[in-house]
Structures are given as structure tokens and as C-alpha cells.
């Protein structure tokens, strides 16, 4: 019982650090990875707000661009029976929640899409099976199934020719045992 309690405290701390504001002078652990890596001009950033996190920017198709993303290093170390509950206030775009299991900059990501409604807060529930392996927008067959223990990066992406300014407010990221 004590081991489980300590595990829960550690899990709670790791989840809360995703949304906690930074102390003065600290830099955000979120890194922007936009189409500029391929010559595009899209922009994005992740900032802390009173409500949580804000993923925002501008997606442009100029110079064969078309995506904006942010990611950060994370260690989840969760049992497989946990699901993720994502609470967001959106802008009408479809976003991707992405996890990576490899340290490479341009490796495979496990991705699940979610729709948003403008000026509306919604919850999205994801199980491990919802995340499909992709590389540069294409499915990657014969990859191992995603496990929470293998996750080393988490990120958000806007793509699929959705152009213009965007704002996604991430109100909560929670992991709970599946009942």
C-alpha cells in the first residue's frame, strides 16, 4: 500500500509539472518544432497562463510549409491500465497529441487527433491504443505498441492544411486508471 501511495505521489508531481507556471527567470521546457525545419514559415510557442498552457501561433503553407508543433521531455512511468484525460479550450481546429519513444529529433511519433470547438472547453479521453505510429504524416506499420513506460517526449501539433492563427488552451492533462 505504501509503495502504491508513493508511486501515486510521484505520478501526481510529474503530471502537475506539465501545467505549473514557471518561476521568474526560468525558461519553458517546451520546444517549438515547426515547418521551418523544411523551409516553411509557420510559428508556434507554448506559454503558461493562469488557466494552464497555451499552444499558439500561425500555420502557413508558404515555402511548402503547413505545420506547427511543440514538444517537451517527459517521463511518465505509468501502468498500462491508465488512460489520459485532456481538457482543452479550442478554436475549431483539429490537433494532434503526440508521444515519442526515441531520442532522435525526426523519429516516429505516436499520434492521436482531437477536434476542438471555438470558445468551448472539452475533455478528450485517450487510451494507449488510440496513439498510432506516424512519421512525417504517414503511418508506420510494424512498430511496437506504445507503452507509458517508453514515453520520453510529449507534444502537440497542428497540421493538415489548417492555416492561419491558432490558439489551443490546455486546461488539464490527467492520467487515471481505467476502470
Residue 12 belongs to a domain with what CATH number? 2.60.120.430
Range of the domain at 18: 2-177
Higher pLDDT, 16 or 161: 161
- The count of residues in the chain is 179
Q: How confident is the model at residue 50 (pLDDT cuts 50, 70, 90)?
A: confident
Q: Phi and psi at residue 65, in whole multiples of 5°?
A: -85, -165
Q: What does the pLDDT read at residue 12? A: 42
% of the chain beyond a pLDDT of 70: 84
Checking if the pLDDT of 33 tops 60, the result is: yes
Answer yes or no: are the C-beta atoms of 77 and 175 closer than 8 Å: no
Model confidence at 5: pLDDT above 70: no
Residue 84 DSSP SS3: strand
Asked if pLDDT for residue 172 goes beyond 90, the answer is yes
Spell 75-103 as b/e; 16+ CB within 10 A means b.
ebebeeebbbebbbbbbebebbbbbbbee
Per-residue pLDDT for 118 more than 90? Answer: yes
Domain tally for the chain?
A: 1
Cell numbers 513506460 correspond to 149
Q: For residue 137, what pLDDT is reported?
A: 87
Distance CA 122, CA 82 (A): 20
Rg of the Cα atoms in the chain: 16
Question: Who wins on pLDDT, 25 or 151?
Answer: 151
Strand partners, 53: 48, 170
Mean pLDDT rounded to a whole number for the chain:
86
What does the pLDDT read at residue 10? 42
Q: Rounded CA gap, 34 and 43, in Å?
A: 6
For residue 15, pLDDT beyond 70: no
Q: Is 80 exceeded by the pLDDT of residue 133?
A: yes
Amino acid at each position: 500500500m505504501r509503495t502504491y501511495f508513493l508511486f501515486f505521489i510521484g505520478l501526481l508531481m510529474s503530471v502537475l509539472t506539465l501545467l505549473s507556471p514557471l518561476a521568474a527567470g526560468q525558461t519553458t521546457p517546451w520546444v517549438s518544432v515547426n515547418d521551418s525545419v523544411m523551409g516553411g514559415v509557420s510559428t508556434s510557442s507554448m506559454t503558461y497562463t493562469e488557466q494552464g498552457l497555451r499552444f499558439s501561433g500561425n500555420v502557413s503553407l508558404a515555402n511548402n510549409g503547413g505545420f506547427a508543433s511543440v514538444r517537451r521531455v517527459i517521463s511518465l512511468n505509468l501502468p498500462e491500465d491508465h488512460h489520459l484525460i485532456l481538457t482543452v479550450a479550442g478554436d475549431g481546429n483539429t490537433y494532434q497529441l503526440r508521444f515519442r519513444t526515441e531520442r532522435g529529433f525526426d523519429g516516429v511519433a505516436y499520434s492521436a487527433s482531437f477536434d476542438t470547438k471555438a470558445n468551448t472547453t472539452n475533455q478528450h479521453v485517450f487510451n494507449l491504443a488510440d496513439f498510432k505510429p506516424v512519421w512525417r504524416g504517414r503511418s508506420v506499420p510494424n512498430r511496437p505498441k506504445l507503452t507509458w513506460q517508453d514515453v520520453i517526449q510529449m507534444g502537440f501539433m497542428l497540421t493538415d492544411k489548417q492555416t492561419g492563427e491558432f490558439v489551443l488552451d490546455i486546461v488539464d492533462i490527467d492520467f487515471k486508471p481505467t476502470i
